Amino acid sequence: MKTYEQPMEGNSFEYDGTNYDCKRAVRKDTECIIREAERSHKEAFHRLYKTDSIKPEKVRLYVDDKDNIVYAMIIYTIDYKVGKTSRYACGNYYPVENKTLCPHLFQGSICW
């Protein structure tokens, strides 16, 4: 399986001439990232980061031998409160079927 990264344009990306709408995945991932950050280190999370600055930056595509997307993972940025830097947070893996990012039936993988 090959991987590619594509830039996100708002809540969507384009691959092989097709636009993929990711609004639902972005909403779900954002909620999960915040929930996980608060669960693992709430005080530091609110002290260090602009919690409302999470936004989709790019998408990592896992592609089969025929260049069809099998899975997609949206990569987000979140800004620090001090300075002009940000860090990455990864969303869930989404199977791609019929040009749609579908919820995974049993696997979630938020990387904070």
Q: Which residues contact 39 (CB under 8 A, 6 or more apart)?
A: none
pTM for the full model? 0.90
Residue 102: φ, ψ to 5°? -105, 150
Burial 15-47 (b: 16+ CB within 10 A, else e): beeeebebeebbebbbebbbebbeeeeeeebee
Q: How far apart are CA 112 and CA 109, in angstroms?
A: 10
The structure tokens listed for 102 are 């579908």
| pLDDT at res. 81 | 96
Q: Per-residue pLDDT for the chain (112 aa), expressed as one digit of tens each?
A: 899 999 999 999 999 999 999 999 999 999 999 999 999 999 999 999 999 999 999 999 999 999 999 999 999 999 999 999 999 999 999 999 888 888 776 666 667 6
